[in-house]
Structure 1
Amino acid sequence: MSGHGAPRLDLPGTADLRVAVVAASWHEQVMGGLVGGATRALDELGAAYEVIRVPGAFELPVVAKAATSGGYDAVVALGVVIRGGTPHFEYVCQAATDGLAHVALQTGVPVGFGLLTCDTEEQALARAGLPGSEEDKGREAVEAAIAVVLTLRGMSPKGSVGFAS
């Protein structure tokens, strides 16, 4: 499984954070698991959040971009695209991935990447954070976004990286 070796992150000082969770609507069961994992992680961290639903993965970047101007410290983008018999999979995955990377780079607001790009529904379910799932990509996307927020906060004006004391 791809999550083998994932880091365990210590995320202190998160109670003052606001996070937008932008979540696609396709594949209801998988999305329920991803959103559930993300919101459980945010509740445990004490961060404030809003879940914003969009139709599909292709719509994630534009709403993530809008959220960056809404006073959020981070955006967590969640979605799933399952390969079918047409090139649609490649186009949607590439557009959503590139779009989310551009949002983070253009705005400086961390974007947690929780877009599953799977060959089968079984692979998506194994990563969805549901009972019996092997991984919880919703939680991992939250933890990655929060870790970047804390890293950016701890950077000195001279550009050295480290956590603030």
Structure 2
Amino acid sequence: MAGHGAPTPEPTDCHDLRVAVVAASWHTEVMDGLLAGAQRALADHKVEAPVVVRVPGTFELPVMAAALAPSYDAIIALGVVIRGGTPHFEYVCNAATDGLTRVSIDAQTPVGFGVLTCDDEQQALDRAGLEGSKEDKGYEAASAALLTAATLKKVRRRDGLG
């Protein structure tokens, strides 16, 4: 299982963080699971009033994340790309990964990477955080972004990290 060895940090109080979730619309069942997982993580971390923005597909995630990053402490990007018979899969996966990485570094805003890149729909369902899923990548992406944003806030205030 891909999640073997993943950290399981306790939720941190992130009520003071401004958070936006950007979610693709393709593959409704998978996306509903990813978004629900992210929303569970936001609630567990006590995030108040996160903004949720939907975009058509995974390819559009970076541009929306870039537009939101200056106004938010963390962005959670959720999408899914399922391999087909053409190179389209690689193009979209690379564009989303490179674009979201660029947004995070350029804006110095953590971007939780909740983009599933799967060979088939069953792999996506297994990672979507739905009933019967083996993993909850929406929850994991949200938690990673929140914990990074909280740590980054400490670094910027020079509060120390110990």
TM-score normalized by the length of structure 1: 0.93
The more displaced of 119-128 and 143-152 is: 143-152
Structure 1 unpaired stretches of 5+: none
- Structure 1 residue ranges, 4+ long, deviating more than 6 angstroms after superposition: none
What does the per-residue CA deviation read over 1:68-87, in whole Å, with 9 as the maximum and x for residues that have no partner?
12x21100000000000000
The more displaced of 142-151 and 119-128 is: 142-151
Is the Cα–Cα contact under 8 Å of residues 151 and 161 in structure 1 kept in the other structure? Answer: no
- Do structure 1's residue 39 and structure 2's residue 49 form an aligned pair? no
Distance 2:154 2:45 in 1: 18
Is the Cα–Cα contact under 8 Å of residues 11 and 146 in structure 1 kept in the other structure? Answer: no
Structure 2 unpaired stretches of 5+: none
Distance 1:157 1:112 in 2: 22
Q: 2:62 is matched with which residue?
A: 61
Q: 1:110 is matched with which residue?
A: 110
Q: CA deviation at 1:50?
A: 1.2
Q: 1:92 is matched with which residue?
A: 92
Is the Cα–Cα contact under 8 Å of residues 127 and 133 in structure 2 kept in the other structure? Answer: yes
Is the Cα–Cα contact under 8 Å of residues 64 and 103 in structure 1 kept in the other structure? Answer: yes
Q: 2:15 is matched with which residue?
A: 15
Distance 1:126 1:161 in 2: 39
Q: CA deviation at 1:156?
A: 6.2
Q: CA deviation at 1:36?
A: 0.3
Q: 1:75 is matched with which residue?
A: 75
Is the Cα–Cα contact under 8 Å of residues 68 and 75 in structure 1 kept in the other structure? Answer: yes
Residues 161 and 125 of structure 1: CA distance in aligned 2, closer, same or farther (over 3 Å): farther
Q: 1:120 is matched with which residue?
A: 120
1:101 counterpart letter in structure 2:
T
Distance 1:100 1:31 in 2: 18
Q: 2:28 is matched with which residue?
A: 28
Q: CA deviation at 1:12?
A: 2.5
Is the Cα–Cα contact under 8 Å of residues 11 and 44 in structure 2 kept in the other structure? Answer: no
Q: Number of aligned residue pairs: give it.
A: 161
Residues 157 and 34 of structure 1: CA distance in aligned 2, closer, same or farther (over 3 Å): closer
Is the Cα–Cα contact under 8 Å of residues 34 and 129 in structure 1 kept in the other structure? Answer: yes
Q: Percent identity?
A: 59
Is the Cα–Cα contact under 8 Å of residues 74 and 146 in structure 2 kept in the other structure? Answer: yes
The more displaced of 115-124 and 1-10 is: 1-10
Q: 2:53 is matched with which residue?
A: 52
Q: 2:161 is matched with which residue?
A: 162
RMSD: 1.6
